[in-house]
């Protein structure tokens, strides 16, 4: 099966510092991939490369059999939707207007059902006439998620299953909305959308993903199923914590903060 997106030996050099260094990544339709890693590892940078927002210094990215660089911004928006971190809005748009922006130029009537579905699915329908800057961080994040879902739905209606990129989509969400977001993303994956999310919470990543990609210092340190990726050794080597991972009755790894210790500086040195 041809992958939705395939990246080969990606590298990004910004002013002499190598933020991404030789990453290979192959994303199939219907996969749910979590990108995890310590602060500054290059997770968001990798996502921005995959979205076309940043151009790689070396390497190639192919989206649906075509070089990513050959897409115009408009075409690209039909094949992949991206939720960025910390989107902020300088003018008082209402939630409904923001979500409608995801529909592009298909016209208000055609956009209506997509907008309504997204407002309901993300549970912001009751906020539709509120101005975005007056809402809490989590409510704003959900409104933007609804906008991105509308963009994805519009693109998939025209070109079939697409790519959904989420950069820390749960950073401002409470527990309930974190789970809901994961489930919404899961429904998209079951319909064939390839979902890639940068996540901080490893437990959420385990629940979310069919595959976890661990990034350290701009390179892939591990890329496998959650059970095989999240191990004591990984936590020690990549996250520099001493941990004993528990296992849930279904076999999935469970991380309890109570059972973790940061490595001492010397241990961390050795681990590297």
Residues interacting with other proteins, by CB under 8 A? 48, 51-53, 72-78, 81-82, 84, 86-94, 97-98, 101-102, 104-105, 129-131, 133-135, 144, 151
Which is closer to other proteins, CB of 48 or CB of 216?
A: 48
Cα 237 from chain centre:
23
139 versus 237: smaller Cβ distance to other proteins: 139
| Least distance from other proteins to the Cβ atom of residue 81, Å | 7
CA-based angle 161:162:166, to the nearest 5?
Answer: 135
Phi, psi (deg, nearest 5) at residue 113: -65, -35
Q: How far is the CB of 53 from other proteins (least distance, A)?
A: 5
Report, in Å, the least distance between residue 225 CB and other proteins.
29
* Beta carbon of residue 52, minimum distance to other proteins (angstroms, whole number): 8
Cβ-count burial of 17 within 10 angstroms (0-12 exposed, 13-18 middle, 19+ buried)? exposed
| CB closer to other proteins out of 59 and 93 | 93
Sign of CA dihedral 250, 221, 11, 9: negative
The smaller minimum CB distance to other proteins, of residues 79 and 177, is found at 79
Please state the closest distance from residue 132 (CB atom) to other proteins, in A.
9
Measured distance CA(155)–CA(74) in Å, rounded = 11
Q: How far is CA 101 from CA 47, 104, 177, 193, in A?
A: 22, 6, 22, 21
- Rg of the chain taking only CA atoms, in angstroms: 19
Based on CB atoms, which residue is closest to other proteins, 8 or 130? 130
Q: Name which of 20, 82, 26 is nearest 213 in CA terms.
A: 26
């Amino acid at each position: 099966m041809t992958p939705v997106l395939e990246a080969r030996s990606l590298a990004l050099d910004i002013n002499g510092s190598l933020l991404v260094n030789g990453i290979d990544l192959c994303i199939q339709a219907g996969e749910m991939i979590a990108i995890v890693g310590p602060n500054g590892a290059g997770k968001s940078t990798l996502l921005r490369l995959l979205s076309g927002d940043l151009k790689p210094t070396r390497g190639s990215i192919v989206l649906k059999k075509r070089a990513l660089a050959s897409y115009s911004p408009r075409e690209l928006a039909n094949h992949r939707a991206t939720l960025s971190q910390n989107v902020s809005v300088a003018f008082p748009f209402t939630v409904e207007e923001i979500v409608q922006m995801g529909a592009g130029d298909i016209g208000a009537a055609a956009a209506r059902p997509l907008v309504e579905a997204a407002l309901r699915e993300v549970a912001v329908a009751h906020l539709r006439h509120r101005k975005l800057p007056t809402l809490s961080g989590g409510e704003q994040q959900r409104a933007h998620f609804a906008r991105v879902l509308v963009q994805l739905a519009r693109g998939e209606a025209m070109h079939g299953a697409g790519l959904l990129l989420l950069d820390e989509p749960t950073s401002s969400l409470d527990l309930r909305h974190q789970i809901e977001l994961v489930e919404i993303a899961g429904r998209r994956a079951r319909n064939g959308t390839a979902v890639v999310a940068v996540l901080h919470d490893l437990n959420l990543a385990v629940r979310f993903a069919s595959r976890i990609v661990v990034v350290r210092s701009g390179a892939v340190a591990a890329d496998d199923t959650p059970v095989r990726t999240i191990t004591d050794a990984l936590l020690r080597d990549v996250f520099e914590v001493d941990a004993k991972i528990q296992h849930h009755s279904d076999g999935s790894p469970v991380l309890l903060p109570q059972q973790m210790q940061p490595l001492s500086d010397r241990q961390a040195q050795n681990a590297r």
